[in-house]
Chains A and B, each alone.
Chain A
Amino acid sequence: MKLTTRVTLRLLLVLVPLLTLWAALFYVAMVDEINDETDDALENYAEWIMRRHLVGEALPSQGDGSNNSYELRSVDAAYVTSHPHLQFRDAEFYIPDKKEYEPARVLTLLFETPDRGWFELQVATPTFERADLQETVLGWIALLMGLLLITGIALTMWVFRRSMTPLYRLLGWLDGYLPGHTTTPVPNDTTIVEFQRLNEATQQMANRAEQLYERQKQFIGNASHELQTPLAVLGNRMEWMLNELQLNEPQMAEVMRLLQTQRHLVRLNRNLLLLTKIDNGQFPESTAVDVVALVKEQREMLDEIYEERGVTCRLILPERFVVQMNESLAVVLVTNLMRNAYLHSADGTVVEVLMEGRQLIVSNDGEQPLDDRRIFERFYQGSKREGSTGLGLALVRAVAEAYGLRVKYAFDEGRHRFSVTWP
């Protein structure tokens, strides 16, 4: 869940009940006030009639255009003691203006006159006006609350997003970050202190990673370079032993095995050096290379090497496929892909090399899928094989990265499929 979504949801969770409660309380208060005002108006009307009656002035005629109406009658002492002197109630009341009974608010008032004894005054006002008013108030409250909620949330989201811009810029930078390749510095044009610190910390980390990466690359390069000569010398000495010393049979076999290990070591070292050189971009010159011709050439060589294991090869290729590449690197790419397939094939199976559009696919039989996230890492080997350095696919990826090619591994219908796509 995105941060803005989370914040918005949380705000809604708090604000909706709070605002609803607030609106409800406000509505109740308003209704109460409306009722209160109705009662007050009714009371004033009753008082006016009562006072006119007390001083003997003419009472208003019924149906004077106001919806109010009244009834005045004389009552005896017994009625006075048994009835409340002032009472509001809701009742059906005859409204002369409408000539019908209407739901009304009725005030009953008992008062004493100096000479004519007690009177009961009933005044009434229809409640439809009050109901109308309450409805209007309810509508407005709902509308305003909704509006308040929407504007509040929208404003919060807007402010939040704006304030978080530096974070999203940093995340964008991190998405594109690759140790050893990224040269753009961490964007840091914010005035927000927290984000400044975060950006600075990220830049420091990136710098450190860059340094370590560089140092490691140099170390591997130097080490394999320095190892070359002693390894060659070692090989020469052993060959000399074979040729010049009069060794018996078991001794000779032992030296041969030593020589084999030395050759593996030499190849390992050469590949490491090659990898470093590719990573360092030390193969700048490029020419037109025919990938199809390269595949055919490699196939002949590999067929010969793996003849005794009965691994055969099927080629489905166009006439030619020419790309602009460094020739050595093209060879590294094709050789390692194909050698990998031959090497990891069971005896008597078929390696297939297929060219589909701008995609080269090399596939061989397999029992279960490999870890497609680690398969191109150095020295990652699903199953150890004699003659495998564990660097072949790492070299393939290094070359692909140098030219912006896409390498992919997939396990499909019992076959490992390695594909390289030229853009």
Chain B
Amino acid sequence: MKTKKMMMTMVFALFGWQLATADEARPITMDKLPKEAVTFIETHFPGEKVSIAKVDRELFEVRYEVVLMNGAKMEFLGDGTWEEVDCRYQAVPDAVIPPEILASVKERYPECKILEINRESRTYEVKISNGLELIYDRRFHLIDIDD
């Protein structure tokens, strides 16, 4: 009976917490971002100012989103590692892209720019300027091409 009660309480607590925290994004200032994220922005987009930065707290993860004044958008995980860099109006700086992927894209589509890169749990997704989406696995083998 006691364990039952405790389990019920736990379920309710979890549920309530989920409801309370599954909140909309909140704006934050630059200094609230994780240090790694700030370093990332300063390294790869020197001189660019932040237009808006947001934090999104979900049940099991925290996510930061930053839009720079040049239109570039990036997402960081709670520890500050980048998950998405979207520079659809310019190009993703080469230094951001893993060298193997950069080489592979340059070799296949020398005339294309890389507009966006996504780091998923098992893959990298790269969008290039001719509209194709290239998917690489963790060891940087090209495994799929979407258009």
A residues engaging B (CB < 8 A)? 25, 28-29, 32-33, 36, 39, 43, 47, 50-52, 54-55, 57, 84-86, 88, 109-114
Contact = CB atoms under 8 A, between A and B. Distances in A.
B15 to A, nearest CB: 6
B67 A47 contact: yes
Given A51-B71, A54-B69, A113-B69, A86 B52 contact: yes
Interface residues of B, number: 19
Given A25-B15, A57-B89, A111-B51, A86 B26 contact: yes
Interface in B1-50: 15, 18-19, 22, 24-27, 49
Interface string B100-129: 000000000000000000000000000000
6 contacts: A39-B24, A54-B69, A55-B70, A84-B27, A112-B51, A114-B69
Given A32-B19, A85-B52, A86-B52, A47 B73 contact: yes
B51 A32 contact: no
B27 A28 contact: no
Interface of B: 15, 18-19, 22, 24-27, 49, 51-52, 54, 67, 69-71, 73, 88-89
Contacts of A28: 19
A248 to B, nearest CB: 92
A51 B88 CA distance: 9
B89 A86 contact: no
A36 B26 CA distance: 13
Contact of A55 (B19, B27, B54, B89): B89
Contacts of A55: 70-71, 89
A85 B29 CA distance: 10
B67 A51 contact: yes
A33 B15 CA distance: 13
Nearest to A86: B27
A51 B73 contact: yes
> Residue among A29, A51, A85, A112 with the most chain B CB within 10 A?
A51
A84 B54 CA distance: 12
Contacts of B54: 86
A29 B24 contact: no
> Residue among B15, B51, B67, B73 with the most chain A CB within 10 A?
B51
Nearest to B12: A25
A297 B105 CA distance: 128
Contact of B15 (A29, A43, A85, A112): A29
A26 to B, nearest CB: 10
Contacts of A85: 27, 52
B24 A54 contact: no
A109 B19 CA distance: 24
Contacts of A47: 67, 73
A52 B49 CA distance: 16
B51 A113 contact: yes
B70 A54 contact: yes
Nearest to A85: B27
Given A50-B51, A55-B89, A36 B69 contact: no
A243 to B, nearest CB: 91
Contact of A111 (B18, B52, B88): B52
A111 B54 CA distance: 12
A-B pairs, top 9 by smallest CB distance, nearest first, are A55-B71, A85-B27, A86-B27, A55-B89, A54-B71, A114-B69, A51-B71, A111-B51, A111-B52
A17 to B, nearest CB: 13
A414 to B, nearest CB: 63
Contacts of A57: 89
A50 B67 contact: yes
B19 A29 contact: yes
B62 to A, nearest CB: 16
A123 to B, nearest CB: 13
B90 to A, nearest CB: 8
B48 to A, nearest CB: 9
